[in-house]
Structure 1
């Protein structure tokens, strides 16, 4: 086996087995390539033997190249995922990655997560879960929050009937019992289908779609904890919460040209005034980008 074989297998696993986004696959394979090259690794047992001090030296070299704290935290997370996979490939009875704390991330101003960050968060809750079906569940929930603009309570109120009926749109019940129709992205439909296939509990039409580890309804706290773990691994600020994904849905649609009335309907706001906050968020983002890009900003 060669280093190229390791990377090819890792890429296929991420894309085919873990169903990661192309962006995540590219980023994880690039990190793995750097780790393999820096340590002259040529088989899975060699990767599996990587310990905390090896990672510390690798990341120190990357920091010397100018890598910032947030990027270092993401690189560490990708390294751990690669080593865990290597230990599984080697038949290690304890495949957990080496324990190593990432750098502290300076807290920034509250802001929507970017599209790439939203997908990375969804992918990471899957990677970090104790069981495959739990990871698929949490990934599907986060993609509903970002891709369809749902409140967390709305996502967790979905039933088995909703999963069976989910196509390009989904009917949800929001505050005050108000119903609305929201779009469902292909990546979200695929994530829900993957969760349904792996869920060990019977998903009957009238029962909650998203289940806890013991079969009861999934609680918002479990989703919040899973996302908190993922955002720390990615070096994102504390403002990257499940509800921030709904804000990001609104902000990104407004940036792309959606009108306020349509956005009001998609978000289920009772008044247009609740929706207008996103015009201020978008203006702040526009000004920040202008200052970064303009030669005299």
Structure 2
């Protein structure tokens, strides 16, 4: 049933390759736990006590509550599918609650730090230098997700309209405006890419001319952000948070940011207002005579 479930997620839910990999890994880990702890080889035979036992074992292994909840969400999706397919008659997840978690504010890089990165960092004029700079400029300049960056094709950039198309979650396409300097950077990079690696329409490539992969992008982002920020997290998603926070701080309305990020609801975007409120509090404390 695992293969059928993953096929269902691929065809009907249209989940990304990265999400599918995470689902598969979660279910394989749970299956391993069932076999080792309960001598059970069928996922469909698990009950809520076994699921809770797995959650407890994950917490005892010092896995963060958010990570445990993500794994439990995988099981909810899987057992919901089994119930709809009438493989099981009782969903074991109905009696399993999510763990309580703190909701930390999204981390972002200060504007002056990113300006320092783009204005003073030496990237180099070779393929690797242009590519690394383009990766950072695209992530910060558009707020796109890592998976969306990896899916970008040469034809997705419209140099006349200064826009680019991305394929987001659930295969939803959206159009994002880009600034002229970014468009010029894309042109320079494409020219060098086509010269060194002709015949491929994938935008971001490795040094060997193969389509880039997630770990490579993460490594590049961490390398350059480490030079300008002391944030604990220095990931592509931090640049997405930075994009949204900087827009909000400079007067963009929340609905526009929601559309640019590709959020399905405003609730997901409202988390960025807290960062702005914290900034206002800081200014208030520094400036008001009675603060």
- Fold equivalence (TM over 0.5): yes
Residue aligned with 1:171, SS:
strand
Asked if structure 1 preserves the Cα contact closer than 8 Å seen for 2:157 and 2:165, the reply is no
Match of 1:194 among 175, 184, 188: 188
Instruction: Quickly say closer, same or farther: Cα 1:157–1:122, change in 2 above 3 A.
Output: farther
The correspondence of residues 91-130 of structure 1 with structure 2, limited to 5 A, is 111-122=107-118, 127=123
Match in the other structure for 1:222: 216
User: What is the alpha-carbon distance in structure 2 between the residues aligned to residue 275 and residue 145 of structure 1?
Assistant: 17
Match in the other structure for 1:247: 241
C-alpha deviation, 1:175, in angstroms: 0.6
Structure with the greater alpha carbon radius of gyration? 2
C-alpha deviation, 1:258, in angstroms: 1.9
Superimposed CA distance per residue, residues 192-225 of structure 1 (whole angstroms, 9 cap, x where no aligned partner): 1221122221254xx3111011111111211221
Residue aligned with 1:172, SS:
strand
Aligned residue pair count: 185
User: What is the alpha-carbon distance in structure 2 between the residues aligned to residue 293 and residue 141 of structure 1?
Assistant: 38
Unpaired segments ≥5 residues, structure 2: 1-104
User: What is the alpha-carbon distance in structure 1 between the residues aligned to residue 153 and residue 122 of structure 2?
Assistant: 21
C-alpha deviation, 1:177, in angstroms: 0.5
C-alpha deviation, 1:163, in angstroms: 3.8
Match in the other structure for 1:274: 268
Instruction: Quickly say closer, same or farther: Cα 1:235–1:179, change in 2 above 3 A.
Output: closer
The correspondence of residues 26-105 of structure 1 with structure 2, limited to 5 A, is none
Unpaired segments ≥5 residues, structure 1: 1-108
Asked if structure 2 preserves the Cα contact closer than 8 Å seen for 1:124 and 1:230, the reply is no
Give the root-mean-square deviation of aligned CA atoms. 2.5
C-alpha deviation, 1:268, in angstroms: 0.2
Asked if structure 1 preserves the Cα contact closer than 8 Å seen for 2:106 and 2:238, the reply is no
C-alpha deviation, 1:184, in angstroms: 0.5
Answering whether residue 287 of structure 2 is matched by residue 262 of structure 1, we say no
Match in the other structure for 1:285: 279
Asked if structure 2 preserves the Cα contact closer than 8 Å seen for 1:147 and 1:249, the reply is yes
Asked if structure 2 preserves the Cα contact closer than 8 Å seen for 1:255 and 1:282, the reply is yes
